[in-house]
Every structure is written in structure tokens, then in C-alpha cells.
A and B are shown apart, each in its own frame.
Chain A
Amino acid sequence: MHRFVVGLPLVGLLVLSAAPRVGESAADEAEVARFEETVQPFIEKTCLPCHNDRRKRGGLSMVSLQAFDSVARDPNTWEKMLGKMRTGEMPPAEDPRPHPETLAKVTAWIDHELERVDRLAPPEPGRLTIRRLNRTEYNNTVRDLLGVDVRPADDFPQDDAGYGFDNIADVLSISPVLMERYVIAAERVARLAVFGPEPTKPTLVRKNSGPRKVVEITTVPDEYDETGLTLPNAAHTMHRFPVDGDYIIRVHAGGIRPAGSEPVTFTLWIDGREVASQTLDAAAQASFSADEQELFGKTLDFRTRVTAGEHWVAVAIPRLFEGLPPSYGGPNPSTRPAPPPREFTPPRRNLPPERIAEIRKRFEEEQRRVRPSNSARVGHLEIGGPYDQATGPLPGTRERIFICGHPAGSHVQGCARRIITNLARRAYRRPVADVDVEPLLELFQQARRAGDSFDQGIAVALQAILVSPDFLFRMELDRAPGGGVAPLSPHELATRLSYFLWASMPDDELMAKADAGTLGDPAVLEAEVRRMLRDERAMSLVREFGGQWLQIRALENINPDVEKYPDFDPYLRMSMREETERFFARIMREDRSILEFLDARYSYVNERLARHYGIPGVRGPEFQLVRLTDPNRGGIVTHASVLTVSSYSTRTSPVLRGRWVLDNLLDAPPPAPPPDTPPIDETGANASMSMRQQLEAHRKNPICAACHVRMDPLGFGLENFDPIGRWRERDGEFPIDATGNLPDGRTFQGPAGLREILSTEEEAFAKALTSKLLTYALGRGLEPYDRRTVRMIARRLPHHEYRFSGLVLEIVNSVPFRMRRGVTTP
């Protein structure tokens, strides 16, 4: 693994500890001359005709930008300008193009000057409000503090999100409902940690089967998945089992089998492993219809031992096309005799003979009708339990609490203080003083005086720790008087680091570095970051940050129209998410280049996804790393997860997808449409025009064009992917035209062309990912003064060969991550 010395940001810290040096930024005479010679005349001639004080196109006047020192005064506007000139968005296409050489000179000057100005500007770390743990952080923290992995926060109200993330200090509030949940969770967790799980009565949970559609056929395919796992006839669900124990998986069957079929087999899979099989003979139970074997409403129970925690539970019908009557021509046909045809019984009512003949005809037709061969399915699942559950202390949990090392009942004087001090120190993520420990010890003693056991006393103290603001909030204190800027304390830094990378509390090793005061040492900090990124807990960064940055969390709530896209089912949804998570995890774990998000020629698929993508040769539920040979797949934008969350349920949207790319990959989120914008007719109601033609018509309106000229072409490039990310050549009756014409005149073709374009956008992508990751790392929205940090980090990434660790280290070493501004006392 490569190591890079991360020096530059530390220079920033040094600069800060000296006096701000604004006055020293006297510019090079040559720079000023170049500005006056090239840049100022360019602005005057090319920009000012629209961006003057009177016309203010796009809300921007550039009159003040004619002064050299405006870059230092207003770097963000200059940065925006630079971006628009580089993408060719400005000057607009209808105006004469500036000479390429002039353009190159101007952009090079701006770039250079911005860099200089950023280097010299006084650093501004901003200020973070005290922040409560969000639900994920609470769950993870309780798990790492006590070894109790019961996700108590799943019962808490949903966290509010801001700036695209749900860990934003300002929007995380505490309601009475949440407080009530905290109090209850604290009691439950404390009891569980000290005494282990209590026997629980078995209960039944219905698992939603999600959108799923079996498209019925009457034939037998040449090739199909004989496990049945990837067919829509199977039900897949994630379930959190509360304790180790036996559980019942109740299968509610659905669909029918042709009369005379053999009984149907159902197979239970847990975490991709086959557990057990059972058969159900629908012919032996009551049905609405006598002409077929009806499975609807019939149930069977699997009982099996499951460990506590979240598991993937699936019930599939193996060898779906076997055991059918011989007339279907399937493998291993049924040996049951076909049931005799039923006699027609005329209705009891007095009906005219022609009416009876009609009913008879319908009856006979119904008897002759060929029944579907693939209709049998799992309707939904219920999970019941636990039976024969594990009770008593959880492995590893008591050791974390009772650090005195004595067996229960033989604690000595001083143990309580040691135990409580240790718990509070870890829970509060900082050294604790008497003022913290004494009241907790008093709670312990109160319990002892009331005649409760030593352990019960500890449980009460733990209960108090878990509702204390010191635990629930990540608190950082102002150290610099009068609104000054000061570095975080080592423990505050350790806490920021662990919640950034793990969404959880610091572990013992990180705490030890903070205790020793060595965490601020660049080599120590870098070693810690690298260690933490390798740790299993860093998957939180993939799930929490990745899930929100790439918006694939929305997969849980997205329901593509089952009639139009019957391929979409919960298993595909789960597989889509897993692909993207594994892809992200690889970049993080193997410390690969972040540019692979744009152009990777590999991905992870299981059989379900491989069939979806048309990748041959992948069998079974296990995910495997595959080389992508199809030029149209590659990079994150062609992940089915991303393509699905950026679509509507019934159709694709080039606008949504274009916007997704601009916002998440190119650091250029389009603004919200102005209030008087006519609504875009993207409804697809106009059947005589393709989506492309409709959008092109929309862009004729110059107000719309300003943004759509950037969004739409990117989306057009992805039009060959349907709303669930499957390849298509046509959209309804219209052949797909996946040509994209970018505002700077470049043209590309389809996903492969788009990937080529995106892979040239290293800087824009670096800024995009940096600002998203910085937002998540800090837990606050970025302010204008933060652009400087984003630019500085993005400029440094090439020196790290764009490695993931390089980005993380740059953020961890940045001024806003390491320091905070105090409050000006009035």
C-alpha cells in the first residue's frame, strides 16, 4: 500500500496559529499585468454585455470582477465562472466562440490565481452545533459499547435529513416521543447487557412480499434457474432475529398447478444457503376451483435454528417445471393419473335451454383451458419465534462491563467505581471526572441500599449513562475565547473520526491515542485512519455515506410498475443495493482510485443481477467480481441501483438521470427551476412524440434551456437503460436515440460514450465527492467559506493518485475537520 505524507493542510494549521496573513498576499506584478492584459478585456468583451449591473443575466453582474483583487474577495464566483467556461456552458452557444487560445489563457489564469488566493486566505473552520446520535449511530454505539447488537433505535422516530444526509447537527432534534424511546431503550439495553436476554414469548411477524409479478406461461423453457431463487416465484426478505433460537418460517403459498401435477416443493434458504425443503399437496386441501391445484391460501411451516441478528431469508420453488402433467413436455413429468373430467351439472335455477347450453359451453372451455406451467409461487412469509431461545449473559458483554474480573457475587470494594468510571468514559467518549462519576455511583448505591444486587446497581448506573446528554450528544466545547478558532481536543477529534468512518464510538485503540495526546501527530493520525478504513466497521461509511451520496437508500421506497416491469422484485432490489455497496467497499478496502466510480470496467453480480444485465455464466446467490466486457456497462452510472433510483415508476427520465450525474458526480447541481417556469411536459402522455422529442421541444423555451441543456444530454446517453436498469433498444414504439450533445459542442453516443466523457472530468468529480464526503464528515451543510477547503482538497487528490485513503486523509486533516470556531460572547 502506498503511503503519502500529507503535509499541506498542516501548513494550514500552522498558518492559523500564526496571525492571518491577508496583508501579505501582495500579488506578483506579473500576475496583475496578465490580468489587465488578458482577463479583464475578456470579461469586458465576452461577459459584461449580459452580466452587467443593468441586465444581470442569471442574477449575476460581473462589473466588480474587473478588479484584480476580486478573486481574493469573491473566489467562489470566480470558481463558478471557471467551471462554466470549462464545460462550454459559457459563453452561450448562440454567441460567437472566443478564440480557444484566449479561452485557455483566461481559464489558466483564473485557476492559478484561485489556487494562490486559497492558499493565503485565512482559514475558517466554521462551527458545529452539538449533535445527537442518529439512529444508525445510536445502534452502532450501543453495539460497540456493550456488545449488544439489538438495534434499539429501529423503534425510534425517523431522523430528519438535511443537505442530503441524516447526520446533520442542525436538523437532528429531540422530541418527547424520541426522549421516551431513549428512556425505554436505556432500561432495556442496560438489563440486556447486565443480565442477558429474558425469555420472550414467540410472536409472528408478517414480511411484506414487495412488488413481484409472475408472468404466466404455458410452456416449459429450455433453460431456467432450477433453484428457483432468481425467479419471481420466490420470496426474499431481510429479517432481524432478536435472539438465538428456533424460529418458524411460515410460507403462504400462491398461484396454481395444473391438475394432475405432483406436490410442489418449497425450499428455505438462509443467507444464501439451503436449509430445508418440504412439499405441499394442494390437491389434498380445499380450493375455490376443482379444475386445477390451487395453492392460494395454503401454508406450510419450516422450523429452524437461527442466530441473533439480521439474516436474508428466502423461500423458493426448486425445479419449477418438473412434476407437471406429461402433456407439458417438461422434465420429470408427473406420474399421477390425470383426474377424471368433471361432469357438467346444470344450474338449479330454471333457465332457458339456450342459456344452459351457453353455461355448458363455458364450463367445457374452462375444463379444456391449458393452465400455466409456472404459476406456483410463494405469496408471502411470516416469521414466528423465538422458541427454545438462548438466555443468560451474552458472550463478551459482561467482560466489557465487569472489568474487575471477579465472578458475579465476589466483587470487592472499589469495583463499582472502576466499572462505572470505565463505562462512563467509553460512553461519553472522553476522560471523566468525579463530577461525572459521583452521581452515577450514587445511583448504584441507592440500588444497593434498597437491597438490590451489585449487578442491578450497575444496570441502574448504566441506564443513567445511556440517557445522559453526554452519551446522546456528541459534544464539543468552545476553547478559544471571544469567538476565536481553536483545534479540537484529542478526544473530540477521535470522536469525529470514529463517527465519520464507523458511524460509531472510538474503539480502545483510538481512545488510547487520544488519551496519550498523540492523535494530532500526522503519522499517528494517518495510521489510525488507515487502520479504521480496513476495519469491518468502515462498512458504515459505505452504507451510510454511500447510500445517501448515491441515493440508493431510496431503493427501499421505490416501486417500479409491476405491470410494465415485472422483473423487479425484492430480490432484485436487494441485489442491486449489494452490487453498489460491494463496488464502493472494494474501492475503499483496496484503496483504489475514486475515479473508478466513473469508469470501472468491473462490478459485482450474483445470478439474479447477471441475468438482469445479460452477463452469462454466473450461477447462484453468491456475488462475484466480474470483468465487464459489454462496452455499455461500467462505472457507477450504469449500476441498476442508480438507474432505478433516478427513474419514475413507469418510465425513465433523462432529466432526473442528468440531474443525478450533475449533482452527484460533477459538482454542478442545477438550481431549482424559477417559480414561473412552465411545468415540463414529461408525462409521456404525448404518445406521438418520443421522450427525446418532447424534451427537445421543451428546451426551445430559453428559460428551461439554461438548465436542461446541461441535464438532458447526460440523461439521453443513458436512455438505453429502462427504469430498472435493463438494456433496451426501444422505448415503446420509439427506437432509442442515445446521442448526447453537450453545451460545449462535444457529442457522444450511449453509455460507453458517456463514460468516456465522464472519465475526463476528474476535477469536477473530485470536487463533487469531496463536498459530499466533507458534508457527511462534518455533519453540517457546507458554507461559502468551505469551498476553499473543497478546492484545496480536490487539487491535492492527483498527488494521492486519487486513492480513496487520500481523500479521507485530506478531509481528516482539513481545517474544518480539525478545528472549530468558538462563539462570540456578546
Chain B
Amino acid sequence: MIATGKHLPRRLFLRGLGAAIALPYLDAMTPAFAAGRPAVAPRTRLIFTYVPNGVTMEDWTPATVGRAFELTRILKPMAPFRDRMLVLSGLAHKNAYALGDGPGDHARAAACYLTGVHPKKTAGADIHNGVSVDQIAAKVIGADTRYPSLELGCDDSRTVGNCDSGYSCAYTNSLSWRSETTPNPPETNPRLVFERLFGAFSDAGLSPEARARRQDYRRSVLDHTIERAKALLGVLGPSDRRKMDEYFTAIREVERRIQMAEQDRTGLPDDIEMPTGIPVTYDEYAKLMFEMQRLAMQADLTRVITMMMGREGSMRTYPEIGVPDPHHPLTHHRNTPEWIEKVTQVNEFHMRLFADFLASLQATPDGDGTLFDHSLIVYGSGIADGDRHSHTDLPVIVTGGAGRFRMGQHIRYPEDTPMTNLYLTLLDRVGVQAESIGDSTGRVEHLTDVGTV
């Protein structure tokens, strides 16, 4: 599935050095510089992966804190990254609680997750929330890429109507908020994500030879068309000529787009399969959406990504792992052991898919390291216990190499430490200055220190 970047042999590179100096920075050549300093500063990515409806906390939270913690049942799939991740306990989103607004914890959990703000209860157009941390980051670290940020989801993403007890669907479906009133609705169709990233002429999935040939033909066909349009311009009347002019201009623009596509696809592996739509099974779907993230970062089209593996309150059924029941009712298990077991299976499934994603980032060269090395990734949920809708002691994992944190720890923060304090700390690490986010009261500690509370 992962295309391994083919490094140019050093000798070959040196032979061609004279010509290569003028070339732009090429990933494929980086190892040649690896001994010295990197050619450019590594790009830093910030990624948020969200799981809905909480997790079974008894099977999530490690029994002990510190470096010697043991991976719990749900965290097991993360074994390959045990020493490159932090499990953080005690963080909370107090603003996701009702605070007098009555039911609607799922909507509040998602809306508050990256903003730390108590969203206004409404199912109408007067939605109001805060600016989310990914958008604060995108203003700075997303400024140099074609897309400042990318928002993805694995459930249908309506943004109007009532999705939870009088809360707009914009709240349950969108983690990312560009402004207090503008959510960034996630794109859920991998085909559209791909087309947005790489345009309509990327010719993904073809061998370099087949691709080159297809591009040749496309150019020849357009040349033929342009010649024909020119000839017609000579014989048509004035109003007809206007239509032909329109055609002519459009063809020229398409020519330009085709050229652009050839540049944009630099770094796109040859064996990538072009998504044709939403895969039928969830595991294929989630894998493909993760793959879109990897491709977007590899081509450096964006550096800030949020993805909801399911929207808050998701009713998805998981027949492929033997859970035919809808997810959300399962989490209201009323302590029925069989239901709790099924919730835990769904949690493990999500974790496995996320761990696969991390592995793919780890296998993707990027500058002097890998995509994993240059990313800061947060995995978690705005609900801890789905049965009781609690928003304290949330399940949170921080991983990736970009934070240069002291990894491989389980840290427990004092009860009700704002989740947003973690975000401020992360922003510091990716070089983004922010005074506060939502209900933040400061930074979190212990991420770089030796030892824990």
C-alpha cells in the first residue's frame, strides 16, 4: 500500500551534481545531505483524529502513570508506538457540559473539542462557537501550502438541521471552526478529497509510462481542438464567434490546469489507487481517508488536518467486526456486560485503524526523516464515558515526532485540567503563538520533564 520513496543512489547523484544544484529541493535526494544539516527546515504538521461516543475508560486508561505503564486492551494496537506516544489522563472539557442548557452532550462534545467553548444551543442559522485550535495553527503553519487545512469525516456531514436535542448538525459534524459562526464542514467522499488535492488530471494509478502517454495524447487532442477552433473562428458570424471564443478560452484554461496537475502530482506514488467514491466497508473507508491525509502531507498540499472517524452520536454499525448494533445506543449500555464488550471492540477497531495510519506515516520519507517524525498527532474524544456523557478525564493520546516531547509516558493531570491547556502547549511546539484558547488557563506540564506527578 505504501510507496517507498526510491532514494537516488548517492553515487549517481554526485555524478549529476553539476546539473542538480539548480534543481529545487527534492525528497528523493535528501539522504545525500542527511549527514550534514537538512536542506530546509522540516515542515511541521498538526493532526487531530477524533472518535465519537466516548470509549470504555476501564479498558483505556493504563493502571499506572509514568514510563512503566502497560498498554491496556484498547491501547494494545499502539504497541509499535508505545515509546513514541503519550497517554494523557485528567484532561477535561468543562464547556461541553450542559451548564444549564439541558441535553445535547454529543453536539457539545464535538463542538467544544477543539475550541474549548460552550456552543450556543440552537438548531437554526444562529450557530455560535469558538475558533478551533487547528484553525489558529493553520493561519501560521498552513500559510505556505495550497490548503491551509483539510477537514475530513467518515459519516454524512449535514450542516443544517437538528442533530442532537436542539443542537445544529454543524456542531455534531464539525470539529474545525474558522470563526465563531463558520464551521469547516468535513469532506466525506474520498474521491472529492482526492480531486480537490490533485485535480482532475492527476492520472493516478497509472505507471509512469502509461501516464506519460496519456498526457501526450491529451495534449495532442487539445492541440487538434485548438486548431479546429481557430479555423472555425474564421468562418463564423459575430455572435457565433463569441461562443467559439468562449470555447477557445476554456480550452486554454484547461491546458493550463493540465500543466499544473503535472507539477502537483510530484511525489504522488505511481501505484496509488484513485478513489472512486466511498468504500462499502468501514475499514476500507477509514483507511482510504487516512491515506488521503498521508498523500496530502506527502505532497505538502496541507499541514493541518482534522478527521472525525465518525460524527458525534454516530449510529454506524460494525458488522465486519461482529457488531451489528448501532454504535451510539451501544454506548448507553446501562452496564450490560455484552454491550460494554461490543463498545470496547469498536474502540479497539478504531485504534487499530489509527495505528495503521501512524505506521504509514512512519514509512513515508519526508525531508530528513519521515512524515511521522514531522507530525504532532492528537487522538481522542470529547466524551469519556459514553453511557454517562462525561467530559472529564477524557481519553487522549499525543504522538508523532514534531513536539520533541519526552514520549513513552502515561501522565495524569490534576482533575479538570482544561484540554485547551494541552492545545496551547502543542501550539508552542509547532511555533504558533497563542494567548489562550477557549477555557485555557495555561500550559500543561511534564511533557518534556523527566518524571511525572
Contact = CB atoms under 8 A, between A and B. Distances in A.
Nearest to A452: B213
Given A129-B239, A201-B276, A473-B243, A299 B253 contact: no
A294 interface: yes
A297 B280 contact: no
Interface in A444-479: 446-447, 450, 452, 460, 463-464, 467-470, 472-473, 475, 477-478
Contact of A174 (B217, B247, B280, B317): B247
Interface in A280-303: 285-288, 290, 294, 296-299
Interface in A545-588: none
A173 to B, nearest CB: 6
B339 A286 contact: yes
B221 interface: yes
Nearest to B285: A204
B80 interface: no
Contacts of A201: 273, 275-277, 279
What secondary structure prevails in chain B residues at the interface with A? Answer: helix
Contact of B315 (A131, A174, A297, A463): A297
Contacts of A443: 217, 220-221, 224
Contacts of B246: 173-174
A206 interface: yes
B280 A179 contact: no
Interface string B241-282: 011101101110110010000000000000001011111100
What secondary structure prevails in chain A residues at the interface with B? Answer: mixed
Interface in A160-187: 170, 173-176, 178-180, 183-184, 186-187
Contacts of B254: 176, 179-180, 183
A464 B221 contact: yes
Contact of B326 (A180, A184, A296, A385): A296
A299 B317 contact: yes
A175 B245 CA distance: 11
Contacts of B232: 469, 475
Interface stretch (B111-119, B328-336, B439-447): B328-336
A294 B329 contact: yes
B280 A298 contact: no
A176 B257 contact: yes
B156 interface: yes
A470 B228 contact: yes
Given A130-B240, A467-B221, A469-B247, A180 B229 contact: no
A211 interface: no
B342 interface: yes
Given A202-B279, A288-B332, A447 B217 contact: yes
Contact of B250 (A178, A297, A450): A178
B280 A469 contact: no
B235 A203 contact: no
B319 to A, nearest CB: 8
B101 interface: no
A384 interface: yes
B359 interface: no
A296 B313 CA distance: 13
B239 to A, nearest CB: 5
A286 B236 contact: no
A396 interface: no
Contact of B217 (A440, A460, A468): A460
Contacts of B156: 206
Contact of B220 (A384, A446, A477): A446
Contacts of A183: 218, 221-222, 254
A822 B235 CA distance: 12
A186 B328 CA distance: 45
A608 interface: no
Contacts of A385: 280
Interface string A178-198: 111001101100000000000
B209 to A, nearest CB: 10
Contacts of B244: 130, 469, 473
B408 to A, nearest CB: 36
B324 A463 contact: no
Contact of A179 (B224, B228, B247): B247
B224 A468 contact: yes
B215 to A, nearest CB: 11
Interface centre among A170, A173, A174, A447 (most CB of B within 10 A): A174
Interface string B273-302: 101111110000100000000000000000
Interface in A260-274: none
A288 B217 CA distance: 58
A205 B247 contact: no
B324 A204 contact: no
A818 interface: no
A384 B281 CA distance: 9
A581 to B, nearest CB: 30
A299 B253 CA distance: 46
B326 A130 contact: no
A25 interface: no
B228 A468 contact: yes
B27 interface: no
B240 A129 contact: yes
Contacts of A439: 224, 227-228
Interface in B172-190: none
Interface centre among B216, B217, B222, B315 (most CB of A within 10 A): B217
A174 B250 contact: yes
A626 interface: no
Contacts of A469: 225, 228-229, 232, 244, 247
Interface of A: 127, 129-132, 170, 173-176, 178-180, 183-184, 186-187, 200-206, 248, 285-288, 290, 294, 296-299, 384-385, 439-440, 443, 446-447, 450, 452, 460, 463-464, 467-470, 472-473, 475, 477-478, 822-823
22 contacts: A127-B237, A129-B242, A174-B247, A176-B257, A179-B247, A179-B254, A180-B257, A183-B222, A203-B191, A203-B280, A286-B333, A287-B329, A288-B329, A296-B326, A299-B324, A443-B224, A447-B217, A463-B221, A469-B247, A472-B247, A473-B243, A823-B238
The 4 A-B residue pairs with the shortest CB-CB distance, nearest first, are A297-B326, A203-B277, A179-B250, A823-B237
Given A130-B243, A204-B279, A286-B342, 16 more contacts: A130-B236, A132-B243, A175-B250, A184-B201, A248-B280, A285-B324, A286-B339, A288-B329, A288-B332, A297-B315, A298-B325, A385-B280, A446-B217, A446-B220, A467-B225, A475-B232
